Amino acid sequence: MDQALPIRQTGFGSWLGRLRAEPALAAPVAIFVISFATLAGAWFFEYVLKYLPCPLCLEQRLPYHVVIPLSLLVAIAAYVRAPQKLIAAGLIVILIAVLCGAALGAYHAGVEWGFWEGPTDCSMPLTDLRTGGSIAKQVQSVHVVLCTVAAWRFLGISLAGYNCLISLGMAAIAAWGLLSRRSAA
């Protein structure tokens, strides 16, 4: 009767064990957390600290709107041990999306540093001034947000620069999940 039964971990310990053992699961989970936190940070700067985003800032958020739900779906697929090709395809799409995000961030940081010109529509569109009311009041209510001016910098890097770095980090994580999955197969 002294025969030892294997102890099966349940709960949080088993979840962490699977994350450590399965890069194809850990990668999309990490990307989900990082991308969600990054977008939440952008919303914090916009709605709490009142830093209005320029058009390029808003464009840089588009890859996150793809990556957040897709990384969650890939994580669920990896958790339930879906076919490896499905997980690989999801990681490839995530990799492409975050590389696009890195390119947008690098482009915007270059515009801020004056390395190249930004788009011509890099300010908020004016409303129709014929809609009534005083033109002076309408013009005063327009907040122009230029893409050429960094709203905030930390250690000399703007939010666009940090977006580029974060996106490159997520690309490395996606590549790690993809390559680790292949070497384990």
Task: Tell me the domain boundaries of the chain.
Answer: 21-125+136-184
How does pLDDT run across 76-109, given as a tens digit for each residue?
A: 999 898 999 999 999 999 999 999 999 999 998 9
pTM: 0.76
Q: What is the pLDDT of residue 124?
A: 44
Domain 21-125+136-184 class in CATH: mainly alpha
**pLDDT (average), residues 143-158:** 74
HSE-CB for 107 with a 13 A CA cutoff: 15
Q: In the chain, what is the straight-line distance between the N-terminal and C-terminal CA atoms, in Å? A: 39
Q: What is the pLDDT of residue 1?
A: 46
Q: What is the pLDDT of residue 95?
A: 97
HSE-CB for 79 with a 13 A CA cutoff: 12
- DSSP assignments along 78-135, one per residue: HHTT--HHHHHHHHHHHHHHHHHHHHHHHHHHHHHHTSS---TT-SPPPP-TTSSS-H
Greater model confidence, 62 or 16:
62
Q: What is the pLDDT of residue 130?
A: 57
Greater model confidence, 66 or 16:
66
pLDDT at 134 over 60: yes
pLDDT at 68 over 90: yes
The percentage of the chain sitting over the pLDDT mark of 70, rounded to a whole number, equals 74
Cα–Cα distance measured from residue 80 to residue 71, given in angstroms and rounded to the nearest whole number: 14
Q: What is the pLDDT of residue 14?
A: 67
pLDDT at 115 over 50: yes
For all residues of the chain together, what is the average pLDDT? 81
Q: What is the pLDDT of residue 106?
A: 92
**pLDDT (average), residues 55-75:** 93
